[in-house]
Structures are given as C-alpha cells and as structure tokens.
Structure 1
Amino acid sequence: MVLMTCIASLLLPLKLHHRIANDYALTSWRVLVLLNLLPGLFGIVSLWLLPESPKYYLAVDEQQKAMEALERCCRLNKGRDVTLSSLGVESVTQPRLPEKKIHRR
C-alpha cells in the first residue's frame, strides 16, 4: 500500500495524455491502474505454476504424487544429489486424517 501511494504521488501530477483512439486517451491515472494490476497478475501466474502441496495429495489419497512433491522440495532444499531415500524416507502419511475418504467427482 505504501508503494502504491508513492507511485501515485509520482505519476498523477505528470499530466500524461496520449491519444490512442478517437475517444480514448492514456492518462496518468490509467497508467497507475495498470501498474497496480501487475502484482495481482504475478500472483495468479505464480499460483498457477506452483505445484500442489504434499499435504493436499495425502488428503486426497495420492501418496505417489505426495512423494514426488516432497522429492522436488528435498532437491530444492538439500541439493540435486540428495533424495528422500538417501535421507531414509520411504513413505509419508498424514496424521489425524478423517476415516471417511474424500470422493472426488
């Protein structure tokens, strides 16, 4: 929020007015709105590209995908040559899961 007010205090006094079409002009407040849109777009793209969490995979009873997600995290944190099996992890479970299985449609 502080960054938005700083950018607004720099942009709004500039009196930008670039005509794009007959009745449409690119003004300083429209540039400000476009700049404020960028963090949201970055957040949406990053959430789309990030993998699901191992906890989610365990909740929907997909242990293999949970192990693959944990393997990816292990390699990022410990280095490319370290695997879960080299650390002694062969399987994972989630404590306190409800007895009733989640049925996806």
Structure 2
Amino acid sequence: MCLGIPGRIVAIVDEDAMLATVDVSGVRRAVDVVCVATPGRPLADLVGAWVLVHVGFAMSLIDEEEAAATLRVLAEIGEAEAELEAIRTGSVELPSPPVIPAAT
C-alpha cells in the first residue's frame, strides 16, 4: 500500500532544485515540491502549507483540517498494527496455517 503522509512545509532548502524542508509529525526531511509549486511564484509562498508527502515528493496541497484527519487515521492504523504485532508475537492463539508443499 502506498501512503501519502501529511506534513507542513517549514522552510525552503534550495529554490533552484525545488527542495523544501517538511515537518512530518516532528521529523524534518528535504522534499521535492515541484508537484505543488505554482509556476511564476516564489517557493517561499509554500512555507506553512500542508502537503501529502510520498517517497520524497510533496504530491498535493491539502488543508490543515484534511491533514489532521489523515494523521488521526494513520494513528488508528498504528494502533491496529500494535494489535497485529501482538498476534505475530504469539500473545493470541491462532490456528496453524495449512502447509503448502514446495514446488518442485
């Protein structure tokens, strides 16, 4: 599954390379903003904007409300992941999966 993670643009790193620093839940990374930049406008106009970040690119602009809702969903997924991890580590008994013979 491919996720876009909400982050806020906090600084422009390199105007020519179209790189900005994005804060994603307290982690700051350089991100390419070519997909969200407005031609003819300075990148500095993007500082403070919320974006969806995927594999090092800001893919789209979003509003703060959408960012907050997406972060809530991701937190819920994280809670689900913790429960799945409990299942993986044996905290919950599961039936044994069927044995599939190896192809020859």
Same fold (TM over 0.5): no
Larger radius of gyration: 1
Structure with the higher fraction of residues in strand conformation? 2
Structure with the higher fraction of residues in helix conformation? 1
Higher relative contact order (CA 8 A, sep 6+): 2
TM-score (norm 1): 0.28
